[in-house]
């Protein structure tokens, strides 16, 4: 099996999310090929300075530039993030050709990776968004709930996240890759804090202090976030995704947010979750997290296998 990029590493203390558009000139595309294919090398060069910091960087490539940058067959499901327009909130679709998901136990290692990437990318890209996330207490989001509990662990991670031979038939180059979806959310913490803990727990579907799952509501009733985000196939099997969400923000400017990032072997699973949250299931009963959270970005990428990523540098 083709080795994947470090998509399966867990949450670290620090993470940086960089989303760029690629300037559409031959020179820019050539420069971008050089940089993305050397990301494993750049990471290695920086991480050697403190191996315990577990520096990693995953590169995702968006639908719009896939064919010009890679020459690899298109991943079967890859397309731009589809806007989902709900009654209360819209899952917006925003520009993004390249994603760099940088993780480390040390903020300065993320900084150094970002610095070297920005230096090398130069004028070939335009910054769409940069977010620096941090671990908050016992891995809580800024709504105060532990985030990431239901993620797959151990051998289930690769099974949930990495495209395998059996998914793809002839498109062998997509094997070892992952779909990646990102959304940057801002929270209205003032309004959230007006709710009682019990009301907040009903919205999330877990207790706040000790993080215990609450029973699902009856069919047809308002469902909790954890229920709306559970996707089952016809035979009742659950399709897990891997979320590496990070809090970000700045109390002095009143900015409080969650950077949502999901890796999946199947893009449709994440999109289905999005529809259930924004449109509601049953329709009309949208996810109440969205009454307190606004998505200000939304982009989809594919993170090719290591071998495919390195091969991009050989394109002429
Ligand atoms: C404002 C943004 C969001 C916040 C603050 C948030 C927070 C949470 C929390 C606290 C949990 C429960 C603990 C856990 O299992 O991790 C959870 C579960 C989950 N969330 Fe979110 N989430 C957000 C957006 C999303 C989005 C956009 C998706 C997918 C499109 C999603 C998918 C999931 C899934 C799959 C679970 C696990 C459900 C289960 O199997 O129990 N979340 N989220
Ligand atoms: C990594 O470090 C080596 C040795 O210093 C250097 O030759 C190489 O160019 C560096 N690679 C990148 C991608 O920065
Ligand atoms: C680094 O990653 C390894 C393997 O995933 C893990 O065992 C170790 O605890 C991590 N180090 C730190 C400082 O978190
Ligand atoms: C293989 O890739 C092509 C595009 O290169 C796509 O049209 C086709 O649907 C893919 N086939 C499978 C089986 O995924």
Residues 185 and 310: their CA atoms lie apart, in Å, by 32
Structural tokens at position 207? 């207790």
Residues 288 and 229: their CA atoms lie apart, in Å, by 12
Residues 163 and 267: their CA atoms lie apart, in Å, by 10
Beta pairing, strands 14-22 & 84-85 = unpaired
Residue nearest (by alpha carbon) to ligand 3 atom 1? 54
> Is 73 a pocket residue for ligand 4 (Cβ < 6 Å)?
yes
Q: Which ligand is nearest to the CA of 45?
A: 2
pTM of the entire structure? 0.95
Q: Which ligand is nearest to the CA of 67?
A: 4
**Spatial CA neighbour of 291 closest among 193, 197, 187:** 187
Residues 261 and 179: their CA atoms lie apart, in Å, by 10
Structural tokens at position 141? 């989001």
Q: Which residue has the tokens 């900015």?
A: 255
140 phi/psi in degrees, rounded to 5: -100, 150
What single DSSP character describes residue 206? B
> What SS3 state is found at 122?
helix
Residue nearest (by alpha carbon) to ligand 2 atom 14? 42
89 phi/psi in degrees, rounded to 5: -135, 155
Active-site positions read: 147
Residue 299 CA neighbour count, 13 Å, CB half: 26
> What's the pLDDT score for residue 167?
81
Ligand 1 atom closest to residue 141's alpha carbon, by position in its atom list: 5
Distance 96 CA to ligand 3 centre (A): 30
Longest dimension (CA), the chain: 59
> Is 76 a pocket residue for ligand 4 (Cβ < 6 Å)?
yes
Q: Which residues fall within 8 angstroms of residue 80, CB to CB, at 6 or more apart? A: 62, 63, 64, 93, 299, 300
pLDDT tier for residue 75 given thresholds of 50, 70 and 90:
very high
Residues 238 and 240: their CA atoms lie apart, in Å, by 6
Instruction: Tell me the C-alpha to C-alpha distance, in Å, between residue 58 and each of 24, 40, 55, 279.
Output: 23, 9, 10, 31
Distance 64 CA to ligand 4 centre (A): 16
Residues 270 and 162: their CA atoms lie apart, in Å, by 14
> What's the pLDDT score for residue 58?
98
> What's the pLDDT score for residue 95?
98
18 phi/psi in degrees, rounded to 5: -120, 125
Mean pLDDT estimate for the chain: 95
> Is the predicted pLDDT of residue 154 greater than 60, yes or no?
yes
* Extents of the domains making up the chain: 14-314
| pLDDT tens digits along 222-237 | 999 999 999 998 888 8
| pLDDT tens digits along 119-149 | 999 999 999 999 999 999 999 999 999 999 9
């Amino acid at each position: 099996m083709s080795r994947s990029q470090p998509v399966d590493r867990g949450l670290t203390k620090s993470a940086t999310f960089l989303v760029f558009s690629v300037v559409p000139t031959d020179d820019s595309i050539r420069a971008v090929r050089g940089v993305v294919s050397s990301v494993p090398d750049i990471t290695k060069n920086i991480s050697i300075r403190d191996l315990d910091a577990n520096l990693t960087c995953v590169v995702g490539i968006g639908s719009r530039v896939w064919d010009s940058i890679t020459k690899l067959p298109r991943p079967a499901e890859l397309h731009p993030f589809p806007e989902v327009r709900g009654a209360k909130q819209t899952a917006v679709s925003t520009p993004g050709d390249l994603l760099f998901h940088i993780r480390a136990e040390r903020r300065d290692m993320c900084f150094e990776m970002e610095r070297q990437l920005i230096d090398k990318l130069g004028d070939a890209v335009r910054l769409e968004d940069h977010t620096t996330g941090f671990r908050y207490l016992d891995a809580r989001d800024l709504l105060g709930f532990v985030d990431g509990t239901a993620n797959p662990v151990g051998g289930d991670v690769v099974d949930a996240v990495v495209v395998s031979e059996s998914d793809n038939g002839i498109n062998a180059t997509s094997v070892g890759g992952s779909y990646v979806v990102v959304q940057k959310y801002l929270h209205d913490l003032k309004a959230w804090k007006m709710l009682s803990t019990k009301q907040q727990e009903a919205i999330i579907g877990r207790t706040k202090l000790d993080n215990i799952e609450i029973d699902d509501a009856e069919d047809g009733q308002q469902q909790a976030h954890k229920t709306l985000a559970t996707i089952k196939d016809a035979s009742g099997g659950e399709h897990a995704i891997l979320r590496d969400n990070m809090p970000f923000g700045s109390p002095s400017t009143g900015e409080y947010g969650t950077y949502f990032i999901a890796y999946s072997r199947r893009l449709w699973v994440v999109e289905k979750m999005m529809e259930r949250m924004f449109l509601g299931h049953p329709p009309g009963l949208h996810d109440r997290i969205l009454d307190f959270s606004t998505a200000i970005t939304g982009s989809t990428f594919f993170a090719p296998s290591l071998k495919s990523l390195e091969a991009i540098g050989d394109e002429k």
